[in-house]
Amino acid sequence: MQFTDEGYIIKVRKHGETSLILTVITRTHGKLVGYVRGGYSKKNLGVFQPGNLISIDAYARIEENMLSFRTELLKPTAVRFLGSMDKLSALSAFCELADACMPEKAELERFYYMIDSFFNFIDEKNWIVHYSYFEFYLLDFLGIGLDLSECSATGTTENLAYVSPKTGRAVCAEAGEPYKSRLFRFPHYIVDKNYNPEPSEVADLLRMTEFFLNKNFFQTHNLKFPKNRANLLHNLGL
């Protein structure tokens, strides 16, 4: 089997004296793990870095074998994170979540757009908003998306204010008022496709996605929640 694709490096492991094993989130083929012969060298030090966009010529003699990669650097995206501890924290969280949550060779379809946006808009003031969209739609990709269409208690679509941690469903202000200290804040900016929310709204969204990712994916699969993601809100000062 042989195919070409492009994607972002999320993990790099040395293999033997001179080679590497790369994990890459690709546009068409999802998460791929492959062997790069001779990839470990001074010449390639800046190429094989988490966050860089590369092209891949992948091949294997039989489908069950690990892929071998021939690669080319398309964009040195990793350097755009290096001047900011906040951005590096988000990149580390992204890489850990993507590696842990995404099965190999699963089609990402439109979800890749959220991944691409995080990297493409990393130099913008609202870069963390694009990261938060990635986490929100990661829930949907994993089949544990939230139901924000109507109030779970009354059926109304008006004045939605909260999200239940038990059900992942929306709750209107009236029904949720007595329990608001135990509910998450409704993510209006996600529903409205607003890319300029208040920082407090982004923080609320990330607290909620962390809760549901941990509860409905990591705990379900007996996995430990990624440390860099667990520390993200603290590192960002949110």
pLDDT tens per residue across span 45-69: 889 999 999 999 999 887 667 899 9
Report the residue count for the chain: 238
Query: Quick one: average pLDDT of 131-155?
Result: 96
Considering the domain architecture, whether residues 72 and 140 belong to the same structural domain is answered as: no
In a domain, 31, yes or no: yes
Cα separation of 218 and 224, whole Å? 6
CA-to-CA distance for 36 and 54, rounded, in angstroms? Answer: 13
pLDDT at residue number 82: 93
CA nearest neighbour of 134 among 166, 101, 158: 101
Across residues 158-165, what is the average pLDDT? Answer: 98
Summarize the confidence of residues 23-47 as an average pLDDT.
Answer: 92
**For residue 3, is pLDDT > 80?**
yes
Long-range CB pairs of 117-120 (<8 Å, 24+ gap) are: 118/90, 118/94, 119/8, 119/51, 119/53, 119/77
Residues 99 and 71 in one domain: no
Residue 42 confidence (pLDDT): 84
- Tell me how far apart the alpha carbons of residues 214 and 155 are, in angstroms, rounded to a whole number: 28
Average pLDDT over every residue of 130-156:
96
Tell me, what DSSP letter sits at residue 223?
A: -
Mean pLDDT, rounded, for 127-136: 98
User: What is the token pair recorded at 33?
Assistant: 């793990």
Same-domain pairing of 23 and 115: no
Same domain, 98 and 191: yes
Question: Whole-angstrom Cα distance, residue 9 to residue 77?
Answer: 10
Vertex 87 angle, CA 213 and 163, to 5°: 30
Give mean pLDDT, residues 11-15. 94
Does position 37 have pLDDT exceeding 80, yes or no?
yes
The answer on 32 and 137 residing in a single domain is: no
Q: How far apart are CA 146 and CA 126, in angstroms?
A: 23
Rounded to whole angstroms, the Cα distance separating 28 from 162 reads 36
Q: What percent of the chain has pLDDT over 90?
A: 90
Instruction: Report if residue 105 sits inside a domain.
Output: yes
CATH assignment of the domain containing 67: 2.40.50.140
Q: Per residue in 90-128, pLDDT tens?
A: 999 999 999 999 999 999 989 999 999 999 999 999 999
Of 79, 105, 140, the domain-final residue: 79
Residue 33 has pLDDT above 90, yes or no: yes
Tens-place pLDDT, residues 186-227: 999 999 999 999 999 999 999 999 999 999 999 999 999 999
Give the chain's mean pLDDT. Answer: 95
Which residue range is the domain that position 23 belongs to?
A: 2-79
Split into its structural domains, the chain has a count of 2
Q: How confident is the model at residue 44 (pLDDT cuts 50, 70, 90)?
A: confident
Return the SS3 of 153. coil
Q: What is the pLDDT of residue 170?
A: 98
pLDDT for residue 46? 87
